[in-house]
Amino acid sequence: MAQTILHKANTRGHADHGWLHSYQSFSFAGYYNPQRMNFGALRVLNDDTVDPGMGFGKHPHDNMEIISIPLEGDLEHKDSMNNVAVIKNGDIQAMSAGTGIFHSEYNFDRTSEVKFLQIWIYPNKRNVEPRYDQISLNLEDRHNKLQQVLSPSPDDAGVWIHQDAWFHLGKFDKGVSTEYSIKKEGNGVYTFVLSGEVIINGETLNSRDALGIWDTDKFTVEAGTDSEFLLIDVPMKF
Amino acid sequence: MEKTQILVVGRHPEILATVVRLVNNNPNWNATGCLSDEEAIAAFSTRDFKLVLLGGGVDEISEYKLNEYFCAEKPSIKIVQHFGGGSGLLSAEIFEALGS
């Protein structure tokens, strides 16, 4: 029988650094909640808003798969592999920190906020060679259907990471539903609602609510209103 | 109050320095950073460590060797893999490991 866990938006951690407002689904930095450490290999889901021209200065990472999904505005990325890029809504960025990487992420815009999701997945292999990737997605490919934006394979749709994880984005009109089949035995799915109302397993989720579901091989996602959402399919044991 | 001693092992000098600095931001913790297995083994007897963080670049052979040595010397020692490299995960990892 399917197991579920509901994370309402207002139960997330919150950090206000003036230039940064971060809502944290799992323990991160100053937010520590032993009940909110991870959902399987999903360790971080930060819903960040950064003031114009501000951002995260150069800092290191290792052994983590880090994915950024811009929701509004432009995010400027620089890293120690000499990558310089600006990503915007409709793009997705993936970085394997591996043996070590330094990077910075700034709001490229001097007048508007940037809003983005920062997602960290535990890697299935430690100490890999660091790598960076970003792609632009066709927004129409998620209208009333699921658009795969991340997978474990370089040959599959979207960016790829070192973990048996799949991400899908959906932008559904009210009343549209679809069945999602979990990609790998032992995986679970963390659904994060970006806007609108989504119904899964009889649970109604509103903007920024999340539902984790596991011990099942499929479930139905229904849009209670026009809605946008992200499905994060990850190993529950890793 | 006596500080909790934490040994941090990692192969990347700048990341190790960052992790040590971030651990030491907590007034109740004190970190000792080591780049090599030999350095870590030598340092282990110099303080009453409660926790070892194995960071980036420490391969499985070293991990096994260090685990064996530290557990033999001090069976109560907590040894955890640190993911993220001086990131937002550090404090939660330490709290979890120390059971606090």
pLDDT in tens, A27-51: 999 999 999 999 999 999 999 999 9
What total of structural domains would you count in chain A?
2
ipTM over 0.85: yes
pLDDT at B34: 98
What pLDDT is attached to residue B87?
A: 83
Do A23 and A120 share a domain, yes or no?
Answer: yes
One domain, residues A44 and A74: yes
Percent of chain B with pLDDT over 70: 99
Are the Cβ atoms of B85 and A97 closer than 8 angstroms?
A: yes
The residue of chain B with its CA nearest to that of A33 is B92
Assigned token pair, A145: 């259907």
Range of the domain at A176: 139-235
Beta partners for residue A83, in sequence order = none
Q: Among B57, B58, B83, whose Cβ lies nearest the Cβ of A64?
A: B83
CA distances from B54 to A31, A40, A128, A214, B94 (A): 23, 21, 16, 30, 12
CATH of the domain at A119: 2.60.120.10
> Considering only CB atoms, which chain A residues are within 8 Å of B15?
60, 62, 100
Of B55, B59, B92, the CB nearest to A62: B55
Same domain, yes or no: A107 and A125: yes
The distance of A225 to chain B (nearest Cα, Å) reads 35
Q: B20 to chain A nearest CA, in Å? A: 13
Centre a 10 Å sphere on the Cβ of residue A135 and count the other Cβ atoms it contains. Answer: 15
- Give the single-character DSSP code of A31: B
- DSSP designation for A9: G
Domain boundary among A89, A109, A136: A136
CATH architecture of the domain covering B4-98:
3-Layer(aba) Sandwich (3.40)
Which residues of chain B are at the A interface, by a Cβ-Cβ cutoff of 8 Å? Answer: 10-12, 14-15, 18, 55-59, 81, 83-89, 91-92, 95-96
Query: Within this chain, do residues A57 and A132 fall inside the same structural domain, yes or no?
Result: yes
Report the Cα A2 to chain-centroid distance in Å. Answer: 22
Same domain flag for A182 and A97: no
A83 plus A155 within the same structural domain: no
How many other CB atoms are there within 10 angstroms of residue A59's CB atom?
16
**Are A26 and A120 in the same domain?**
yes
Q: Please name which of A187, A184, A172 lies closest in space to residue A220, comparing C-alpha atoms.
A: A172
* Contacts of A115 by beta carbon, 8 Å cutoff, 6+ apart: A47, A48, A49, A50, A70, A71, A72, A73
Residue A63: what residue type?
N
B85 pLDDT band (50/70/90 cuts)? confident
pTM: 0.96
Query: Which residue of A32, A97, A126 is in closest CB contact with B91?
Result: A32
Q: Are residues A77 and A179 in the same domain?
A: no
Q: Domain for residue A144, yes or no?
A: yes
Give 10-residue mean pLDDT values along chain A (238 residues).
96 97 96 97 98 94 96 95 94 96 94 97 96 97 98 97 98 98 98 98 96 98 98 97
B100 pLDDT tier (thresholds 50, 70, 90) = low
Whether B1 shows a pLDDT value over 90: the answer reads: no
Write down the pLDDT at residue A169. 98
pLDDT at A117: 98
Predicted pLDDT at A165: 98
Cβ separation B59–A61 shorter than 8 A: no
User: Apex CA A89: angle with CA A153 and CA A45, to 5°?
Assistant: 65
- Does residue A44 belong to the interface with chain B, where contact is any CB pair within 8 Å? yes
Q: What does the pLDDT average to over B35-43?
A: 98
Delimit the domains of chain B by residue range.
4-98
Domain membership of residue A1 (yes or no) is no
Q: Taking the CA atoms of A153, A156, A161 and A165 in sequence, report the sign of the dihedral they define.
A: negative
Same domain, A120 and A30: yes
Of B10, B85, B92, the CB nearest to A37: B92
Spell A148-181 as b/e; 16+ CB within 10 A means b.
bbbbbeeeebbbbbbbbbbbbbbbbeeebeeebe
Query: In 3-state terms, what secondary structure has residue A148?
Result: strand
- Domain match, A119 and A54 both: yes
- The reported pLDDT for the residue numbered A170 is 98
CA separation for the pair A50, A44 (Å, rounded) = 17
Question: Where a domain ends, among A115, A136, A157?
Answer: A136
pLDDT band for position B23 (cuts 50, 70, 90)? very high
- Judging contacts by C-beta atoms under 8 Å, the chain A residues touching residue B59 are 127
The residue out of A82, A106, A136 marking a domain boundary is: A136
Q: In 3D, which of A17, B57, A132 has the Cα closest to residue B66?
A: B57
